[in-house]
Structure 1
Amino acid sequence: MAVDQGTFRRAVARFATGVCVVTSLEGRADHAMTVNSFTSVSLEPLLVLFCVEKEARFYDAVIDSGVWGVSILNPDQRPAASWLSNRGRPLVGQLDRIPHHRGPETGVALLDGAVATMECRTTAVHEAGDHDIVIGEVVGAAVPASGPADEAGALLWHRGAYSRI
């Protein structure tokens, strides 16, 4: 029996997942995308992955640059998540209204106030239907000391809407 896309989407929507912003730097242009398809892969070596739609503007940037950052969002960063998931937003200046800093290892943008950040170098890309799975070695990571970002919990995606822990 074939599963239709609508049933599939409703089924996977029941799985609560964290919300991250993945960034990349192609030349001098910042690229960013909201994702909920991020996970750790390995402790030796330190590997993580995210999935990116092949048709997304972000796809070429992250594949070409080979470096990317992950900002795990706190609930107060919902506006940034919404903005960076908006198809058709302007490429130039898309991070202008989002406080961020440069990662010391790769130079990619990392969102200020995130509950954790990582910098990665792509080690593999695997085709997976209309998306690709991008695997990267973690070359830098930061977790804020006790403070508002650390105590805020995390931004979640569940049943097609933002939520919080």
Structure 2
Amino acid sequence: MQARVCHAEAPQPSQAAFDEPRFRRALGRFATGVVVISTGSGESLHAMTANAFMSGSLEPPLIVVSVGHRARMHERLMDSALFGVSVLSDAQEPHSRHFAGEAQSWLAPRFAAVEGLPDVVLLEHAAARFAARVVNRHPCGDHTLFVGEVLVFSLDEHAPLIFFGGRYGSVAGQGALQDLSPLAASSR
């Protein structure tokens, strides 16, 4: 059996400005989950939607979130020792929109306190939840990568909310991606 070799389109250097909208669309071809990052509690609670989240290490247990310098969350995480990450379930699309700046006036998000960690609250009914201690911050262009050591986590049996190509979806049945609705361009 002989393998067929396909060559990717070679990037062409040009004098033209970098095509940021096209680059954003290319990045949108990578399907991700959707999380709500939180820090503080009570009146000092701040939360934001993100899809730049990943596992960092199993030993020690580390997670990583990427937050833009212009986001209010960036300043909060620069000054915070703890943060939370709630992996949204497919029923929590309104939460994603709400914490992305598209207020859902009818929504009353419910956060649960984490015992022993007074400045971490996590969304109820999320597919997974992590409370972490910031152990490192790495500059990354116009973002900062915040590395957190997981102190506590929980897992529920909810299907995750998926984001792909500017639209929400969910995993249904045999792993098929079900389209839910587009995300407004202004909220990302």
TM-score interval (norm. to shorter): 0.7 to 0.9
Provide the rounded CA distance (Å) in 2 between the counterparts of 1:66 and 1:58: 13
Provide the rounded CA distance (Å) in 2 between the counterparts of 1:86 and 1:113: 21
Q: Name the residue aligned to 2:78.
A: 63
**C-alpha displacement at 1:162, in angstroms?**
1.1
Q: Which residue identity does 2:73 align to in structure 1?
A: F
How many residues are treated as equivalent by the alignment? Answer: 153
Identity %: 34
Structure with higher RCO (Cα < 8 A, 6+ apart) = 1
Structure 1 unaligned spans of 5+: 145-149
Structure 2 unaligned spans of 5+: 1-12, 172-188
TM-score for the superposition, normalised by structure 1: 0.86
Question: Larger deviation: 24-33 or 44-53?
Answer: 24-33
User: Counterpart of 1:11 in 2: which secondary structure?
Assistant: helix
User: Counterpart of 2:92 in 1: which secondary structure?
Assistant: helix
Provide the rounded CA distance (Å) in 1 between the counterparts of 2:57 and 2:72: 28
Provide the rounded CA distance (Å) in 1 between the counterparts of 2:68 and 2:43: 23
User: Does the C-alpha gap of structure 1 residues 156 and 105 become closer, same or farther in structure 2, counting only changes over 3 Å?
Assistant: farther
Question: Larger deviation: 65-74 or 100-109?
Answer: 100-109
1:97 aligns with 2:97: no
TM-score for the superposition, normalised by structure 2: 0.76
User: Counterpart of 2:101 in 1: which secondary structure?
Assistant: coil
Q: Which residue identity does 2:113 align to in structure 1?
A: R
Aligned-pair RMSD on alpha carbons?
Answer: 1.9
| 1:1-165 equivalent positions in 2, closer than 5 A | 1=13, 3-25=18-40, 28-86=43-101, 97-107=108-118, 108-144=120-156, 150=157, 152-165=158-171
**C-alpha displacement at 1:65, in angstroms?**
1.5
Deviations 1:8-34 (A, max 9, x none): 111111110000001001795001010
Conservation of the 8 A alpha-carbon contact between 1:105 and 1:139:
no
User: Counterpart of 1:86 in 2: which secondary structure?
Assistant: coil
User: Does the C-alpha gap of structure 1 residues 97 and 115 become closer, same or farther in structure 2, counting only changes over 3 Å?
Assistant: same
Q: Which residue identity does 2:112 align to in structure 1?
A: H
User: Counterpart of 1:83 in 2: which secondary structure?
Assistant: helix
**C-alpha displacement at 1:58, in angstroms?**
1.1
Question: Larger deviation: 103-112 or 20-29?
Answer: 20-29
Conservation of the 8 A alpha-carbon contact between 2:135 and 2:148:
yes
